[in-house]
Chain A
């Protein structure tokens, strides 16, 4: 059927023009390395592998850590834009997975959690790559903890971005007062939607089929 469809399409190929709208996917993943959340990074590795398996040629993928000051290229652990040739894509994926493995083994805890800075960096990166689909994955408990003097009360444009919070764990204080957890989630959703983005939370990592 595919063969016949392609065959039929040849008749209308004359005069056709390739679309200028990009159709590739850009994914930027933020990994929270603060405090006890560092122990959750094994799960993040699983998500990264899953994401790699879903991406194809011309797609872009970057993984960055969230630490004290995340609005920096230095925090990007691994990044790649996949080649057009399938064999090269496979090689890039393997190298990417190896880099992440090394990072997960060697990462140290960060005293502060600058999620907004990482988000800004993600927006900047994906806008630069000019991908058709822009997705930011935040692997964090969403508890932002800024160092004194850092200003993160900034407006940024999230139009066309999907922001997905993954594995938003409950803190001890959340167990005491669940309203804190709910308020935290609600604040982030409001913030993302306010700037034009789409917000989603996935805590069940066995149900990643909807991701990408």
Chain B
């Protein structure tokens, strides 16, 4: 620095000389420097823009792929739902309407019986009384004839009339009783018909409601097949919900597996030894882990065999006979493993008591070695957990399937978000370089304001003189 200021005896003059020299140099290099700055900024701007576009294209491709995956998953899911609805309809039809001919025959028979009874129960009008004609005859007797036997005849007629009336009433009552009996016999038939028709109505209503559900699912299925945005949006949000819910359930399952692990890891040491190690981990712990993994695998196979999940299409495609056999095999293995676990849980409790007794003895505290009378509760609880947890872990297959299926979509969504962010960041960075280039040009010109001003002045003077020359 001192050297620079010592080119003349006066440092200030030296500094001024250096400044003039630098400004002059920068001024003459101004054009080239501007080009260089502009080129550099443009290069960075273009490169980043190009990268941003490339990432945008990748994002578009990924979005399309994600959309296709989503639609395919949605289509498959809807197909399953519609298939199950049809199965239910089929079951209803098979169970309730397959015996329609028998039902029809039963109804016809009931109706025929009712008709017959009805025919028999028709109200027969009573016969016209026989004494009517007699009355008419008496009525035609001329009173002036003065026949004395008329009173006796009328008395006989009255007797006959009363007798005939009584007989007619008895017959009428008998007929009415018979009719009522027939009508009473018809009552259960009516009830049976009513009940049958009610059942038929219920089945038909069920079928109608199922048909409405199927219509709705079919509409959604058509939306999915036609790839409508609304369907994609619904599927996407559903997928996110399924992902988080299944993840939560899986976390709970991991907790259960951890409890299971702690139940059997300790007693496993009795079987495989407490100190042998594999890869820095106790063999007993690895053995316990393997048992839990085998249980989960058996649970998966059981769920697959029952066609509750569809993670392994090979199992689902097996013939029903083989599949049912597989259900029983996996269930048996699971049951045996659960029994083993219950035994190990019991062993754990025994070991724990043994260890506590030994520790108490070594501490010299003999009273502590006595076992409590309620300790069987914890033993039973541990055994119960050891037995139940393997079966509970079986149901992990359901959230696992949902998790695996929704994971693709969710990962795709996150990747799309990440790519979009990177693309935006690159675009912003590219534009920043462009404006930084402009800023650098202006900053370059800042110390050169005097020569630039002089240059502009001289150019305006030159422009003014030429203008004056042209004007005349």
Contacts and interface: CB of A to CB of B under 8 A. Distances in A.
B358 A10 contact: no
B109 interface: no
Interface in B127-184: none
A97 B275 contact: no
Interface stretch (B68-76, B186-194, B359-367, B401-409): B359-367
A49 B258 contact: no
Contacts, number: 85
B91 interface: no
A3 interface: yes
A152 interface: no
Interface string A150-164: 000000000000000
A156 B274 CA distance: 34
A84 interface: yes
Contacts of B350: 87
Nearest to A84: B273
Interface stretch (B226-234, B281-289, B463-471): B281-289
Contact of B262 (A3, A24, A53, A90): A3
Interface stretch (A11-19, A71-79, A184-192): A11-19
B358 A94 contact: yes
A89 B257 CA distance: 29
Contact of B278 (A4, A7, A13, A49): A13
B279 interface: yes
B361 A3 contact: no
Nearest to A53: B362
Contact of A50 (B278, B281, B358, B362): B362
B410 to A, nearest CB: 22
B372 interface: no
B275 A49 contact: no
Q: Which of A6, A13, A16, A93 has the most CB of B within 10 A?
A: A6
Interface in B97-133: none
B275 A84 contact: yes
Interface in A81-108: 84-87, 89-90, 93-94, 97
Contact of B275 (A16, A57, A93): A57
Contact of A85 (B262, B274, B285): B274
B392 to A, nearest CB: 16
B243 interface: no
Interface in B333-366: 350-351, 354-355, 357-359, 361-364
Contacts of B280: 9, 16, 19
Contacts of B276: 18, 84
A157 B422 CA distance: 67
B269 interface: yes
- Counting chain B residues whose Cβ lies within 8 A of the other chain, the interface size class is 20 to 34
Nearest to A12: B279
Interface in B224-269: 254, 257-258, 261-262, 266, 269
Contact of B289 (A6, A16, A52): A6
A56 interface: yes
A49 B274 contact: no
B268 to A, nearest CB: 10
B270 interface: yes
A90 B358 CA distance: 6
A22 to B, nearest CB: 10
B185 to A, nearest CB: 75
B286 A49 contact: no
Contact of A52 (B262, B277, B355, B362): B362
B261 A3 contact: yes
Contacts of A57: 269, 273-275
B274 A56 contact: yes
A133 to B, nearest CB: 14
A129 interface: no
Given A49-B362, A87-B351, A94-B361, A6 B281 contact: yes
A135 to B, nearest CB: 18
- Counting chain A residues whose Cβ lies within 8 A of the other chain, the interface size class is 20 to 34
Contacts of B261: 2-3, 6
A12 B279 CA distance: 8
A86 B352 CA distance: 10
Nearest to A45: B364
Interface in B360-416: 361-364
A190 to B, nearest CB: 35
Interface in A1-54: 2-4, 6-7, 9-10, 12-13, 16-19, 24, 46, 49-50, 52-53
B286 A10 contact: yes
B359 to A, nearest CB: 6
Nearest to A17: B279
A24 B362 CA distance: 21
Contact of B279 (A9, A24, A97): A9
Contacts of B358: 90, 93-94
Contacts of A9: 279-281, 286
Contacts of B363: 49, 53
B423 to A, nearest CB: 35
Contacts of A17: 279
A3 B289 contact: yes
Nearest to A51: B362
A183 B363 CA distance: 35
Given A84-B269, A85-B269, A90-B355, 19 more contacts: A2-B285, A3-B254, A6-B289, A9-B281, A9-B286, A13-B278, A16-B280, A18-B276, A18-B278, A49-B362, A50-B362, A56-B275, A57-B275, A85-B270, A86-B270, A87-B270, A87-B351, A90-B354, A93-B362
Interface of B: 254, 257-258, 261-262, 266, 269-270, 273-281, 285-286, 289, 350-351, 354-355, 357-359, 361-364
13 contacts: A2-B285, A13-B278, A16-B280, A50-B362, A53-B359, A53-B362, A53-B363, A84-B276, A86-B351, A86-B355, A90-B358, A94-B358, A97-B362
Interface of A: 2-4, 6-7, 9-10, 12-13, 16-19, 24, 46, 49-50, 52-53, 56-58, 84-87, 89-90, 93-94, 97
Closest 9 CB pairs of A and B: A16-B279, A84-B273, A3-B258, A49-B362, A90-B358, A57-B274, A3-B261, A58-B275, A57-B275
